Chains A and B, each alone.
Chain A
């Protein structure tokens, strides 16, 4: 069964159609890239899946159920902004996450912190913006979730850290779990993805696999994106 299913999903903010009739399903074990220009509806879609927004019409099903208490235990979500309490230290945040989520793997988190040389005793507000992003991503990836929703996981970090994050996503791969990540840094994530969803003005305009694009068009996803969304 699909871990995530969106059926005719639409979201309107006032008179603005943020998403229109979005339908797709994500099977377990897939890493899916949600790709689109700024303002195309990526974050809205992720928030709908996560239950932070309610659809104007249509349906979201996570493991067969609407977003709610159960889906929160299955979904690990990385917001597009930092939402961790700034007075807490990385070490305190580990405790915080352990208390909240039974699937939190503290050892994994600790290892990643030390690998990225992030001191556990430093408060969030004392860390640089990029480092705060790293901490948040570490917490999210350290859960043994069924669905990871990552909104711009690599946007604000340097290329070396970007590689490490992508390595973490690959290393964390589990055939039972799926990852959806939104980004516009396509060249960086392309090799890591199974499938891509091109989203434009709230519509899904393309849904295919990375290798299918390369096979049929003889170009990378990044090149295709630049062509399709040429300004």
Chain B
């Protein structure tokens, strides 16, 4: 998964979102150790202090925790990760719905086209 940054939001906030997505997607699996700040910063191409700030924020949210000597881990609280997944999904669906309304789709019509597209995928 590539790191990409937009111009209109703070970088640390975009890092928080990017790490959340990676946790939800299982790229950073629950209960497992996270790469070091330096490695994460290098991978994302960002300042290590900014990465540190994002990680501290995620620790406060309870999504990450630090073990004194061995580094930083993803929470093993599956419920917490699932509710985050739900929250992220709702955000994206909200944006999607707005787009579709803009195109003039009503709910029924929208469900129809969604079903058709999903069938095509399968």
Contact = CB atoms under 8 A, between A and B. Distances in A.
Interface of A: 29-31, 163, 166-167, 170-171, 173, 190-194, 210-211, 214-215, 218-220, 222-223
Main secondary structure of the interface of A (DSSP, over half): helix
Contacts of A30: 49
A170 B9 CA distance: 21
Nearest to A187: B7
Contacts of A218: 8-9
Contacts of A31: 47, 49
B51 to A, nearest CB: 9
B11 A191 contact: yes
A163 B42 CA distance: 11
Interface of B: 5, 7-13, 38, 41-42, 44-50
Given A29-B49, A30-B49, A194-B49, A170 B41 contact: yes
Contacts of A193: 47
A223 B7 CA distance: 8
Contacts of B10: 210-211, 214-215
B8 A170 contact: no
A170 B7 contact: no
Nearest to A224: B7
A222 B7 contact: yes
B45 A192 contact: yes
5 contacts: A170-B41, A170-B47, A173-B48, A210-B47, A223-B7
Contacts, number: 59
Closest 10 CB pairs of A and B: A220-B7, A211-B10, A214-B10, A173-B48, A191-B46, A215-B10, A218-B8, A170-B42, A171-B42, A194-B49
A192 B7 CA distance: 14
Contacts of A29: 49
Contacts of B9: 214, 218
Given A191-B44, A211-B13, A219-B7, 15 more contacts: A30-B49, A31-B47, A170-B41, A171-B38, A173-B41, A191-B46, A191-B47, A192-B46, A192-B47, A193-B47, A194-B49, A211-B50, A214-B7, A214-B9, A218-B9
A167 B50 CA distance: 15
A29 B12 CA distance: 17
Given A211-B10, A211-B12, A220-B7, A167 B38 contact: no
A214 B11 contact: yes
B5 A191 contact: yes
Contacts of B5: 191
Contacts of B41: 170, 173
Nearest to B8: A218
Contacts of B13: 211
B47 A167 contact: no
Nearest to A223: B7
B17 to A, nearest CB: 14
A111 B9 CA distance: 36
B45 A210 contact: no
A129 to B, nearest CB: 25
A194 B45 contact: no
B4 to A, nearest CB: 11
A152 to B, nearest CB: 19
Nearest to B44: A191
B45 A191 contact: yes
